[in-house]
């Protein structure tokens, strides 16, 4: 339960963080809240030689109304996302989803940037920001670029971040009065979702993200397409599994996961949350 | 003037310490002089479920930083030790030839720091010749691949070995109008005390071994420690720090603990050991793991005439206490609260390539209760009668003198129907049935399920009594020495209440000594819910005798005859009847006795037998029919454990017991893959129940005193678990019986419930 | 690596390995053994303490991450022998048995009430989802927290 030994560096700016990670390459991992990385290191499933602590970089924790989107600094903690009045008004699906991450102690430390960069399909915020059509701002040695959430998750725990890039901001489009629902189906309250759904709807526009329905967070495009084509919520929800490749594991079979996704997508689009 | 303290909600005197500076558990002993400079022990464990060890290479590990020694069983010359319950099964405390479960300790690393020990684990190279892993119980029973060749079979214990007959099969039910069969899995669970195992060992210059042990029974560890260390038991001193829960799994000492003294001697310093939770999930004994074949038969009018149970017990990979719970706990309690005239029960215990099973809260009795309660429900469903009415029809009527069941168990006193009535009333059973009907009629998305259990269990079945010593000091304070071993049950408060009741010495001036085998050499520990009825009983009796001794001292000092001496409990002093102004305090008497051994009395007080707490539970669940998800929304428990000493502590035991029982019904299960790899070996994967999954519990008090001991008390520690599990399982099945579902095995996960609905429709 | 951490009002300068967990620092370097370790997957909450005024699982925080910060452990709650209202509530409502989960539970509960001073029973149960107890069945823990909330 004790991590393997590692060297520890602190970055005081994004530029310094990038310069450090360029120097150490694959041996280094960024440390933000540490609540995705440290549990893996304690079980020795991850053994980076160098940790670059980016949590003290000033001005990477913020939530700002930026006009047509809300800009969230990557170091913003889940608890702050949960409690944000700006997000409550403009992206309540996200703040509600954040309130379901882990438990209160986890939310006092874990960050939205850390969660997204970790790219776990079983985490709540990757799928939620994916459903909301978010853009992630990424900084590297050659400057910044924006990556659409739909292009960000490329494989199991694998994101489009280059080894020498750091996530700095998450841009979430304003929901503009869309109805929404968030369904996290688990065994116990503190557990990861067996299946999770983040969904919003505004007329015939919608976005549905699925948690733990494949090796990457899943955007249920067939559902959105059906809604756009005038299908009822009930009919559209039956397409929930179309883009998914769910696994069978300790907690559920793939077949049951598909069934759950259909039920939970319907409920989420009907604006029921649990 | 001041009434009896007994029966009052006295707050715990232990609490200020636990709440401010915290308990001092074995891993907190930082300032213990004998352990300064102690090295750390880390065990390397088998990653293979069944195999022959072909090579162990410790050289890389031995050269890592901070590593003092890397030790194998061969290095220690370990000899094969037979199981107490089947001597043909033998093992070495560190595996030398064969491994039989993932997690079995093979190598001991001794290091300066704990980190360095953990760093060296992967550097120990162990080669195995992998054998087929026997995980499925029935497959193991029939297999010719044997865990212990000398046993001749993987069946290591059977009730027939005790001379009990085999079950007679279906012919037993020839005269029954109705016959129902079931196959129930009482699944393997993990006890999960919040404090994992830990111990420390140091040899004194006097050649004695002092061992600190997180245990439920220090005195019981002396002989095995002596044997493992090759010394006389008089050379072993066991000390029990605060213990963070045990639940049965910390009754016996484990190989990792038994070897610490051997390791300490080899490296020449004291050693400490503390496992990680992941190690504990495979190394601490597991509970339950019983497969049950049940047949129940009777008449259409609801009378049950025949019941047959074959309990197949998973021993795990050793023949430990878990092996014998089925014949000695499940079988004797197989009839439950029912006056069924014909009962057969056979038990068969089988080894498998899994963690050994041990006692776990209820230890054999939850299994017995779950089987008969499930069977009664299935019988009721078959004849279309309400499950409560079927129970009522078959209950043993109230008895205040011993009642012997057809399986040969003699219960002390029982009033099952009253407990059933009380719980139904308190739970508003009728109201819930009405809500259930409304939900069914409206085809609501969430359906209501109601489960009722009626149970009896055996407590105080371990030990014949207990030791107690009560000593009054010069300042009038008292020390109680008890053979029990509290780990959360509040004995420091409870035994102080009992001593206060007899002596008048204030509770805040009474301290408890336990778990130190030099100070308390005789003791049977805390297990099987025996402590109050045997340990408290002894304190009560010994304190009374001390009062008699004190009176004779007072008589001497006051120059009166003993019969004229009065103990005024309110002032904790003695005077001659009629002249209360001239009094001697306890302190006075203690000082007077100082030269002649002090004011103390010590004895072992026996009781005439076990006691049989009983009760009834009502559980209400909500089932989301579309997903199968179960929410436990209400729980009412009526548990009669005889005379209640401290209702606050009693309720705490019921709450805790219920939580573990509910956890088994709804959530928890230890799982292995077909190769014997554990897949629930940490608290993220194992569904250890949290506050968010549980309702508050409505406790209904009922006291039917037992004549077995002075206090009239039975044990309450396990009743909550025994009564709650079947009630909750029953409630889940009740919620979906409307769809044709007849049975769902525990834990009733959402997918299982959903699948049951699909296949029944 | 050198860290400066204020614990229960006293500032300590210490040399730690980067991999030293905050819970190890508190227990082993400072001898404050009230905070306990119950698991290795950040599941049980026995290690909960306050970092900069909020409950955290100290097994999932490196001591170096707490550098410059302020920590309160169970030992730092009572003032001049007077228990914190949450400690008092746990005692009055039999909110502990073996005591192993208790320090973490109390610290988590205090933080819960700081953020939600008048929670419902359900909010208390969900708010303590990250704190496991095997002895009490949670009934009296919930009762203790609600009693503390009502006494404020």
User: Which among B554, B576, B606 is the end of a domain?
Assistant: B606
Pair B479, B531 in one domain:
yes
How much is the average pLDDT of C5-34?
Answer: 98
State the maximum Cα–Cα separation within chain B, in Å, rounded to a whole number.
Answer: 88
The CATH number given to whatever domain includes residue B277 is: 3.90.1170.50
Distance in angstroms (rounded) separating the CA atoms of residues C83 and C80: 8
Residue B403 has pLDDT above 90, yes or no: yes
What chain C holds in terms of domains, given with CATH numbers, is: 2-76 (3.10.20.30), 85-151 (1.10.150.120)
**pTM exceeds cut of 0.95:** yes
Span B574-615, pLDDT tens digits? 999 999 999 999 999 999 999 999 999 999 999 999 999 999
Instruction: Show residues of chain A in contact with C42, CB under 8 Å.
Output: 35, 38-39, 106
How much is the average pLDDT of C84-95?
Answer: 98
Instruction: List all residues 6 or more positions away from B50 whose beta carbon is below 8 Å from its beta carbon.
Output: B98, B99, B100, B101, B130, B131, B132, B133, B134, B145, B147, B353, B676
- Which tokens hold the place of B140? 């193991």
Within a domain: B183: no
Residue-range definition of the domain harbouring residue B568: 461-606
- pLDDT value at position A102? 97
Using the Cβ of B742 and the Cβ atoms of chain A, whether some distance falls under 8 Å is answered with no
- pLDDT value at position B203? 98
Number of structural domains chain B divides into: 3
Within a domain: B180: no
Q: What is the band of A58 on the pLDDT scale with cuts at 50, 70, 90?
A: confident
Residue B2 has pLDDT above 90, yes or no: no
Instruction: Show residues of chain A in contact with B687, CB under 8 Å.
Output: 187-188, 191
- Which tokens hold the place of B231? 């010394």
Q: Cα–Cα distances in Å, from B29 out to B38, B199, B217, C36, C149?
A: 11, 10, 19, 13, 35
Q: C62 and A4 in contact by Cβ < 8 A? A: no
Distance in angstroms (rounded) separating the CA atoms of residues B665 and B449: 14
Q: B245 and C43 in contact by Cβ < 8 A? A: no
Residue B467 has pLDDT above 70, yes or no: yes
The helix/strand/coil state of B305 is strand
Instruction: Show residues of chain A in contact with C54, CB under 8 Å.
Output: 79, 108
Q: Which of A6, A108, A188 sits opposite C18 (nearest CB)?
A: A6
Distance in angstroms (rounded) separating the CA atoms of residues B347 and B308: 11
Instruction: Show residues of chain B in contact with C28, CB under 8 Å.
Output: 30
Q: What is the distance between the terminal CA atoms of chain C, rounded to a whole angstrom? A: 42
Residue B207 has pLDDT above 90, yes or no: yes
Using the Cβ of B751 and the Cβ atoms of chain A, whether some distance falls under 8 Å is answered with yes
Q: Which of B18, B194, B691 sits opposite C38 (nearest CB)?
A: B194
Pair A228, A166 in one domain:
no
- pLDDT value at position B430? 98
- pLDDT value at position B3? 78
Using the Cβ of B759 and the Cβ atoms of chain A, whether some distance falls under 8 Å is answered with no
How much is the average pLDDT of A162-177?
Answer: 97
- Whether A258 and A201 have beta carbons less than 8 Å apart is answered as no
Burial readout B670-697 (b: 16 or more C-beta within 10 A, e: otherwise) = bebeeebbbebbbbbbbbbbbbbbbbbb
Within a domain: A244: yes
How much is the average pLDDT of A237-242?
Answer: 98
Within a domain: A58: no
Pair A233, A252 in one domain:
yes
How many C-beta atoms surround the C-beta of residue A200 within 10 A? 27
Provide the strand spans (E) within B355-411.
Answer: 403-404, 410-411
Using the Cβ of B664 and the Cβ atoms of chain A, whether some distance falls under 8 Å is answered with no
Provide the 8-state DSSP code for B448: E
Phi-psi sector, B553: left (phi>0), alpha (psi -120 to 50), beta:
alpha
For CA atoms B391, B394, B399, B401, give the dihedral sign.
negative
Pair A158, A93 in one domain:
yes
Pair A21, A69 in one domain:
no
Q: What is the band of A273 on the pLDDT scale with cuts at 50, 70, 90?
A: confident
Pair B633, B685 in one domain:
yes
Q: Which of B18, B28, B720 sits opposite C33 (nearest CB)?
A: B28
Residue B468 has pLDDT above 70, yes or no: yes
Residue B747: asked if its preceding bond is cis (omega within 30°), the reply is yes
The CATH number given to whatever domain includes residue A265 is: 3.30.390.50
- Whether A59 and A15 have beta carbons less than 8 Å apart is answered as no
Using the Cβ of C60 and the Cβ atoms of chain B, whether some distance falls under 8 Å is answered with no
C34 to chain B, minimum CA–CA distance in Å? 4
Q: What is the band of B669 on the pLDDT scale with cuts at 50, 70, 90?
A: very high
Nearest to B593 by CA among B553, B543, B547: B553
Span A186-227, pLDDT tens digits? 999 999 999 999 999 999 999 999 999 999 999 999 999 999
Q: C62 and A8 in contact by Cβ < 8 A? A: yes
Span B327-344, pLDDT tens digits? 999 999 999 999 999 999
Instruction: List all residues 6 or more positions away from B567 whose beta carbon is below 8 Å from its beta carbon.
Output: B503, B504, B547, B550, B551, B573, B574
Number of structural domains chain A divides into: 3
Distance in angstroms (rounded) separating the CA atoms of residues C9 and C29: 16
- Which tokens hold the place of B673? 């893959």
Q: A250 and B693 in contact by Cβ < 8 A? A: no
Using the Cβ of B1 and the Cβ atoms of chain C, whether some distance falls under 8 Å is answered with no
Write the ipTM: 0.98
Nearest to B483 by CA among B448, B451, B526, B432: B526
The CATH number given to whatever domain includes residue B407 is: 3.30.365.10
Q: Which of A42, A55, A105 sits opposite C130 (nearest CB)?
A: A105
Q: C129 and B652 in contact by Cβ < 8 A? A: no
Residue B742 has pLDDT above 90, yes or no: yes
Q: What is the DSSP string of B656-725?
A: HHHHHHHHHHHT----B-TTS-BS--STTTS----GGG---EEEEEE----TTSTT-B---TTHHHHHHH
Span B701-726, pLDDT tens digits? 999 999 999 899 999 999 999 999 99
Q: Report the alpha-carbon angle B620-B623-B629, nearest 5.
A: 120
Residue B32 has pLDDT above 60, yes or no: yes
Residue-range definition of the domain harbouring residue A25: 7-53
What is the residue-averaged pLDDT of chain B?
Answer: 97
Q: Could you tell me which chain A residue has the CA closest to the CA of C49?
A: A105
- pLDDT value at position C151? 86
Q: Report the alpha-carbon angle B489-B493-B498, nearest 5.
A: 110
């Amino acid at each position: 339960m004790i991590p393997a030994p590692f060297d520890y560096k602190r970055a005081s700016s994004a530029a310094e963080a990038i310069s450090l990670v360029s120097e150490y390459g694959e041996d280094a991992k960024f440390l933000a809240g540490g609540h995705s990385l440290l549990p893996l290191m304690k079980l020795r499933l991850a053994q980076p030689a160098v940790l670059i602590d980016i949590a003290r970089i000033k001005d990477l924790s913020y939530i700002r109304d930026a006009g047509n989107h809300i800009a969230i600094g990557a170091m913003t903690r889940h608890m702050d996302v949960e409690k944000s009045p700006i997000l409550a008004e403009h992206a309540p699906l996200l703040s509600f989803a954040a309130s379901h991450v882990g438990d209160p102690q986890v939310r006092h430390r874990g960050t939205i940037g850390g969660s997204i960069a970790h790219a776990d399909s079983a985490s709540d915020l990757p799928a939620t920001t994916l459903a909301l059509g978010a853009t992630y701002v990424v900084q590297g040695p050659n400057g910044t670029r924006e990556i659409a959430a739909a292009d960000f998750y490329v494989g199991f725990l694998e994101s489009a971040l280059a080894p020498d890039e750091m996530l700095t901001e998450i841009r979430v489009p304003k929901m503009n009065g869309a109805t929404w629902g968030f369904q996290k189906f688990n065994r116990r309250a503190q557990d990861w979702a067996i299946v999770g759904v983040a969904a919003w709807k505004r007329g015939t526009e919608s976005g549905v993200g699925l948690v733990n329905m494949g090796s990457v967070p899943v955007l249920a495009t067939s559902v959105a397409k059906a809604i756009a084509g005038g299908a009822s919520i009930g009919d559209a929800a039956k397409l929930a599994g179309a883009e998914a490749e769910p696994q069978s594991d300790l907690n559920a079979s793939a077949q049951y996961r598909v069934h759950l996704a259909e039920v939970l997508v319907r409920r989420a689009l009907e604006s029921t949350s649990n | 003037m001041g009434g009896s303290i007994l029966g009052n909600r006295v707050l715990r005197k232990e609490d200020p310490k636990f709440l401010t500076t915290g308990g001092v558990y074995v891993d907190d002993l930082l300032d213990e002089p004998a352990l300064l400079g102690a090295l750390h022990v880390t065990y390397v464990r088998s990653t293979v479920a069944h195999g022959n060890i072909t090579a162990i290479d410790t050289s890389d590990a031995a050269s890592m930083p901070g590593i003092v020694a890397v030790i194998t069983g061969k290095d220690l010359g370990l000899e094969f030790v037979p199981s107490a319950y089947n001597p043909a099964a033998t093992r070495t405390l560190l595996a030398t030839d064969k491994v039989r479960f993932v997690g079995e300790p093979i190598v001991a690393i001794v290091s300066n720091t704990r980190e360095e020990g953990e760093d060296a684990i992967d550097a120990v190279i162990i080669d195995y010749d992998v054998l087929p892993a026997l995980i499925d119980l029935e497959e193991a029973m029939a297999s010719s691949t044997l865990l212990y060749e000398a046993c001749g079979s993987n069946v290591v214990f059977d009730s027939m070995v005790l001379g009990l007959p085999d079950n007679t099969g279906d012919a037993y039910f020839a005269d029954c109008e109705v016959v129902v069969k079931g196959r129930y899995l009482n699944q393997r669970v993990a006890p999960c005390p919040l404090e994992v195992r830990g111990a420390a060992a140091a040899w004194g210059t006097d050649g004695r071994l002092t061992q600190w042990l997180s245990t439920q029974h220090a005195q019981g560890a002396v002989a095995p420690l002596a044997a493992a260390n090759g010394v006389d038991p008089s050379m072993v001193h066991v000390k029990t720090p605060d213990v963070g829960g045990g639940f049965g799994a910390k009754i016996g000492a484990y190989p990792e603990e038994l070897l610490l003294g051997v390791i300490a001697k080899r490296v020449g310093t004291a050693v400490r050991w503390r496992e990680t939770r992941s190690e504990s999930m495979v190394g601490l004994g597991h509970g339950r793991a019983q497969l049950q074949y049940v047949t129940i038969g009777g008449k259409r009018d609801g009378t049950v005439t025949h019941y047959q149970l074959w309990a197949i017990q998973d021993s795990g990979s050793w023949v430990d206490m878990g092996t014998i719970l089925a014949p000695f706990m499940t079988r004797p309690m197989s009839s439950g609260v029912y006056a069924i005239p014909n009962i057969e029960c056979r038990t068969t215990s089988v080894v498998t390539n899994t963690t050994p099973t041990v006692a776990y809260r209820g230890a054999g009795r939850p299994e017995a209760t779950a089987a008969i309660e499930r069977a009664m429900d299935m019988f009721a469903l078959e004849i279309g009668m309400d499950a409560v009415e079927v129970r009522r029809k078959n209950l043993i009527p109230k008895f205040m003198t011993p009642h012997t069941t057809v399986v040969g168990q003699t219960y002390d006193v029982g009033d099952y129907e009253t407990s059933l009535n009380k719980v139904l009333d308190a739970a508003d059973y009728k109201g819930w049935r009405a809500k259930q009907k409304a939900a069914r009629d409206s085809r609501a998305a969430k359906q209501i399920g109601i489960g009722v259990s009626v149970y009896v269990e055996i407590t105080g079945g371990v030990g014949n009594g207990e030791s107690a010593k009560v000593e009054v000091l010069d300042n009038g304070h008292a020390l109680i020495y008890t053979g029990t071993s509290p780990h959360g049950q509040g004995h420091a408060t409870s035994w102080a209440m009992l001593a206060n009741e007899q002596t008048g010495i204030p509770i805040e001036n009474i301290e408890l000594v336990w778990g130190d085998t030099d100070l308390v050499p005789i003791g049977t520990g805390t297990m099987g819910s025996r402590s109050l009825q045997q340990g408290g009983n002894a304190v009560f009796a010994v304190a009374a005798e001390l009062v008699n001794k004190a009176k004779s001292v007072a008589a001497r000092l006051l120059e009166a005859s003993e019969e004229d001496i009065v103990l005024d409990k309110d002032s904790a002093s003695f005077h001659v009847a009629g002249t209360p102004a001239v009094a001697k305090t306890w302190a006075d008497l203690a000082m007077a006795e100082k030269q002649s051994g002090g004011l103390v009395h010590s004895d072992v007080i026996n009781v005439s037998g076990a006691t049989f707490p009983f009760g009834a539970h009502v559980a209400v669940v909500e089932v989301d029919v579309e997903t199968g998800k179960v929410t436990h929304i209400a729980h009412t428990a009526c548990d009669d454990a005889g005379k209640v000493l401290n209702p606050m502590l009693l309720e705490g035991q019921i709450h805790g017991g219920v939580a573990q029982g509910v956890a088994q019904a709804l959530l928890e299960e230890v799982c292995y893959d077909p190769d014997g790899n554990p897949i629930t070996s940490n608290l993220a994967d194992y569904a250890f129940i949290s506050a968010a999954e549980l309702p508050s519990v409505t406790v209904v008090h009922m006291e039917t005193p037992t004549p077995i001991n002075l206090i009239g008390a039975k044990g309450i520690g396990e009743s909550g678990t025994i009564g709650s599990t079947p009630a909750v399982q029953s409630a889940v099945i009740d919620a979906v019986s409307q769809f044709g579902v007849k049975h769902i095995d525990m834990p009733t996960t959402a997918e299982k419930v959903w699948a049951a609905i699909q296949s029944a429709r | 690596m050198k860290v400066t951490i204020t614990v229960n009002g006293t500032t300590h300068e210490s040399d730690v390995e980067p991999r030293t967990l905050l819970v190890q620092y508190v227990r082993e370097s400072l001898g404050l053994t009230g905070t306990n370790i119950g698991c290795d997957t950040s599941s049980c909450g026995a290690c909960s303490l306050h970092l900069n005024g909020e409950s955290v699982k100290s097994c999932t925080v490196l001591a170096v991450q707490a550098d410059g910060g302020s920590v309160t452990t169970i030992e730092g709650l009572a003032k001049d022998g007077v228990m914190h209202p949450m400690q008092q509530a746990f005692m009055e409502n039999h909110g502990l048995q073996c005591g192993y989960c208790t320090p973490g539970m109390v610290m988590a509960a205090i933080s819960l009430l700081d953020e939600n001073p008048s929670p419902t029973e359900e909010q208390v149960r969900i708010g303590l989802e990250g704190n496991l107890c095997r002895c009490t069945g949670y009934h009296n823990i919930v009762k203790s927290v609600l009693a503390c909330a009502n006494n404020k």
